[in-house]
């Protein structure tokens, strides 16, 4: 069970020096701290998540596949609580196989190819999407880029061709 902040901080709702430093250095976000504390409370410390991304009207929580059910809660009870508290829709997405997650974000649009390319400015994770499917994306291109960048820790390029 990955916790982005230490268990004591998740439990107490106050950040220790080490977790505060992580936040200051931008390795975790305020949203992730808030979610960590709330999810800890909701699941009684049973599960954590890996990252969270805030979009216009949705918060995407990335979590290990086996933890998704516990985060969602019985009949979606936790999702309802989280949604009320953070005032956005909540979507929990499984991590694990990176390629599968990427395909899932792009679906129903079809991914033609994924590869890592090296550019002068650094490594780029390039996803080639079928140009015919451009209108099928469920999220804005920029949002998809943001999520995948978090998952891959690299810059992401979406190419339609």
- 51 - beta bridge partners? 62
Please say which residue, 23 or 114, places its beta carbon nearer to Zn ion. 23
> Per-residue string for binding with Zn ion, 75-114, x by CB under 5 A?
----------------------------------------
- Interactions with Zn ion, residue window 6-35 (CB under 5 A): 6, 9, 16, 19
Q: Please report how many Cα atoms fall inside a 13 Å half-sphere around the Cα of residue 36, on the Cβ side.
A: 25
Residues 6+ apart with CB under 8 A from 98: 151, 152
Whether residue 85 contacts residue 78, with contact meaning beta carbons closer than 8 Å, is answered with no
Report the SS3 class of residue 60.
strand
Please say which residue, 25 or 161, places its beta carbon nearer to Zn ion. 25
The stretch near Zn ion (CB under 5 A) out of 5-13, 63-71, 95-103, 140-148 is: 5-13
Q: How many residues bind Zn ion (CB under 5 A)?
A: 4
Measured from the CB of residue 60, what is the shortest distance to Zn ion in angstroms? 24
Measured from the CB of residue 79, what is the shortest distance to Zn ion in angstroms? 26
Residue 119 has phi, psi (to 5 degrees) of -120, 165
Residues 6+ apart with CB under 8 A from 126: 114, 115, 116, 117, 156, 157, 159
Please say which residue, 6 or 124, places its beta carbon nearer to Zn ion. 6
Please say which residue, 5 or 72, places its beta carbon nearer to Zn ion. 5
Q: List residues binding Zn ion (CB under 5 A).
A: 6, 9, 16, 19
């Amino acid at each position: 069970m990955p916790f982005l902040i230490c268990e004591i901080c998740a439990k107490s709702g106050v950040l220790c020096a080490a977790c505060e430093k992580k936040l200051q250095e931008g390795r975790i976000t305020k949203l992730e701290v808030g979610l960590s504390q709330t999810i800890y409370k909701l699941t009684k410390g049973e599960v954590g998540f890996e990252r969270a991304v805030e979009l216009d009207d949705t918060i995407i929580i990335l979590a290990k596949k086996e933890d998704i059910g516990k985060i969602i809660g019985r009949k979606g009870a936790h999702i309802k609580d989280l949604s009320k508290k953070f005032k956005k829709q909540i979507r929990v997405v499984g991590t694990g196989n990176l390629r599968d997650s990427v395909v899932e974000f792009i679906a129903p649009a079809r991914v033609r190819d994924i590869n890592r390319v090296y550019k002068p400015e650094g490594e780029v994770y390039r996803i080639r999407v079928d140009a015919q499917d451009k209108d099928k994306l469920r999220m804005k291109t920029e949002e998809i880029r943001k999520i995948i960048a978090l998952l891959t820790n690299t810059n992401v390029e979406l190419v339609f061709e």
